[in-house]
């Protein structure tokens, strides 16, 4: 859950009010649940569109397999 918290914390720190998720806008409060399933988040700050990519890492698998 640490990864989710850091994403939400980032959004709050950057004063992001909402996210665009698959073309749909979600408010930050609801975003906490949405961010969990995201690999990338487009944050809207005023007129600026700041794209931040987050890689979701599963804590159960520590080795990379192709």
Q: Is residue 42 part of a domain?
A: yes
Sign of the torsion angle spanned by Cα atoms 33, 9, 56, 52: positive
Six-digit token string for 13: 């720190």
Range of the domain at 24: 2-53
Query: What's the pLDDT at 3?
Result: 59
Q: Is residue 32 part of a domain?
A: yes
The total number of structural domains in the chain stands at 1
pLDDT in tens, 2-49: 555 666 676 667 666 655 555 555 555 544 444 444 444 544 444 444
Q: Is residue 16 part of a domain?
A: yes
* Average pLDDT over every residue of 50-62: 38
Query: What's the pLDDT at 12?
Result: 67
pTM: 0.28
Whether residue 60 has pLDDT greater than 50: no
Q: Is residue 40 part of a domain?
A: yes
């Amino acid at each position: 859950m640490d990864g989710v918290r850091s994403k939400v914390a980032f959004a709050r720190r950057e004063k992001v009010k909402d996210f665009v998720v698959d073309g749909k806008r979600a408010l930050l409060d609801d975003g906490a649940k949405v961010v969990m399933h995201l690999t990338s988040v487009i944050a809207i700050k005023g007129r600026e569109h700041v794209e931040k990519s987050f890689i979701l890492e599963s804590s159960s698998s520590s080795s990379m397999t192709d």
